[in-house]
Structure 1
């Protein structure tokens, strides 16, 4: 049994992770929340206590201050807190320093997004090969369990791909991952998670088509799809983390990711981009100071965690999978519906943070029990999906499956460039 959890980060996803860890602290043990700003950690603790979510009051829930880019400080923190499981939900820039600290201390490592370097955006695929997979052999040699991308997308959608390959298909032709937010936060413009990371996604669209990487323009390929519960909504071809491991680990001809955007969002994003405010490159002011436009924009936009009160509507994330079973053509839609208002009532969060924050806690429980304590580095689709999905069904993220769903037939996607 593994025990004691260290949560790195104090944003909206960390908020949900802390609540859910507290609800299962009889299994997970003591919980420490650590970030550069300890006050944010303490605010999360206040929320957990306000909702009375600490199941076992004999276990500790406390905060620490740490610079997550400082590996030696992280090593000291892991040892001092006796944490055997580290859930990294800080900015993607800190992934490799947190992973290095886990390799040195023997702690289980997990994150919810792929590593990024501040000055490098949308590197050539497969992205995991640039940083994470370079440490695979060291993890195996030292018996380190490292579970990459264990949020929702990436994360749950990867597990659904593994489930489809295991139980529903003999051969898979296409996997289309669809993510829409049919909710309303009432703000003129806001992102549902860290805007700095969010906008960096919208530079290039690398997608996996006919077993090769294909480059497309951002927001250039649109489909309208009739989703269960939330109805017919537009989605746009997008690049995303999970494609970069699924293309390696799942035997499918094409794997694509689609995200929903409304006209207002696209119009505002287009203006911000055209005037340079989504750029990560520093610019010099008249007084000689340098600023990064994207960081200025992040400071101006609403904090994603502040959107939760009054957020209405639902999200739908699902995998449309086409292939064969027993020589017959088969199509299924595996999906989850999450309600913003219900998330706020339960953990004082909105559904985007909730869907990203619950899965790593389910994974931590499986690691603590030994089911997923595999002693090497894995992406989620390499693990047995059944106990994970069954656990999520009891934790607020139930999986639904529709046979012969509404058809999803994207247009032919021409390649601008391939690798």
Structure 2
């Protein structure tokens, strides 16, 4: 059994991970959190103590760390004696943190695909450009590396696998739909790091259809969905992490990702993009100062963590999975509904951070108890979904299904 966890990152998702690890420290053991700014880690630990979140007395320490420094990360892993690293820092850190974990022999968990600062929209399948290149080494060394264990990617991958295992004889289509029906009260903001968030939407939209990669432009294709709790919402075909692994692992099924956007978001985004403010390429000001426009926009927007106190409303995220059952066409919608205000009251973060952070802790618990300690690299859909979703239901995110017009709880 693996114990003792290092959390890398100190944003809104890291806050959720910290609270949930504390609530389950009887399973996860000693806890550590590290970021470039130690004071942010101290504040998260203070919030854990304010909420009396530690299930049992134990260690929870903060550390200063530049996680791009592989040797420094290795030194911290060895100093703290952790056996599981949960990487919820920026996606630019993935390969450095993974390298440190492989070199020190500890388990690695992340919630998003790796990105390089100077590139937007990698050639698919994106995982093959970075993480999957290290799969053989992980297997040779017996290193457990769970990729994309957030909600999307992560839980939605498990939903797809569950549909394949339990509800369909053959899967032909997977449409992942992510709707945030909440309101934060700001003129304009992003729910995650703006730099990472915008990069998802400025490149080519890739989907996997008819056995090949299809390309579209952002906001080119929209569709209205009638969803539980949040009702009718417009969603747009987007590129997203999980499409890149599900296309490989779901045996030829079409895979698409849809995200909800309001007209106001689209209008502001379009203006920012069209005048070049979402570019990752440096430009020079009239005064000769070199700046990256995207970083300037990030600096001007609200910190996503600051949105939490006033966030209201709900999210609905799930998979429409179509296929064949007993010789007939069949469809299920497997989903979760989360509440922004409830998330803030419990852990001090908004619902988007909550849905991203809780699954990473469930994955860590699965590694700790051995069920997901697979001694190799794996995307979530390659792992048994039921024990993961059962754990997730116990620690804060329920799973529901709509089938034949009826809705019922699966794991709650």
TM-score class normalised by the smaller sequence: over 0.9
In structure 1, the residue matched to 2:293 is 293
Cα distance between partner residues in 2 of 1:129 and 1:289: 37
Partner of 1:275: 275
| Residues 1:360 and 2:325 aligned together | no
Deviation at 1:404, TM superposition (A): 3.1
> Superposition pairs for residues 105-144 of structure 1, below 5 Å?
105-144=104-143
Shift of 1:252: 3.9
Q: Which residues in structure 2 correspond to 1:166-245 (within 5 Å)?
A: 166-202=165-201, 203-245=203-245
- CA–CA separation in structure 2 for the residues paired with 1:12 and 1:388: 23
Distance 2:395 2:132 in 1: 30
Q: CA deviation at 1:285?
A: 1.4
**TM-score normalised by L of structure 2:** 0.97
Match of residue 409 from structure 2: none
Aligned length: 405
**Aligned match of 2:410:** none
Q: TM-score, normalized by length of structure 1?
A: 0.96
Alignment of 1:398-417 (within 5 A): 398-405=398-405
User: In structure 2, what is the equivalent of residue 324 of structure 1?
Assistant: 324
**In the alignment, what sits opposite 1:417?**
none
| 2:180 aligned with 1:147 | no
Aligned equivalents of 1:6 and 1:336: distance in 2?
A: 27
Q: Per-residue deviation at 1:405?
A: 4.8
8 A Cα contact 1:333 1:405, kept in partner: no
1:289 Cα deviation from its structure 2 partner: 1.7
Superposed CA deviations along residues 90-117 of structure 1, whole A, max 9, x for unmatched, are 1011100000000011110010000011
Q: Is the 8 A contact 1:332 1:405 kept in 2?
A: no
In the alignment, structure 1 segments of 5+ residues that lack a partner are 407-419
Indicate if the aligned counterparts of 1:28 and 1:365 stay in contact, CA closer than 8 A. yes
Matches of 1:248 and 1:324, distance apart in 2: 20
In the alignment, which residue of structure 2 is the partner of 1:85?
Answer: 84
Extract unaligned runs of 5+ from structure 2: 407-412
Kindly provide the CA deviation profile for residues 370-406 of structure 1, in whole angstroms up to 9, marking residues without a partner as x.
Answer: 1100000000000000100011111111000010359
Q: Secondary structure at the match of 1:48?
A: helix
Question: C-alpha separation between the residues in 1 aligned to 2:116 and 2:348?
Answer: 31
What's the secondary structure of 1:45's corresponding residue?
Answer: helix
Instruction: Tell me the SS of whatever aligns to 2:309.
Output: coil
CA distance in 2, matches of 1:275, 1:31: 45
- Give the deviation of 1:216 after TM superposition: 0.3
SS of the equivalent of 1:206 reads: strand
How far is 1:229 from its partner?
A: 0.6
Cα distance in 1 for partners of 2:268, 2:200 equals 16
For residue 88 of structure 1, report the CA deviation from its aligned partner: 0.2
RMSD: 0.9
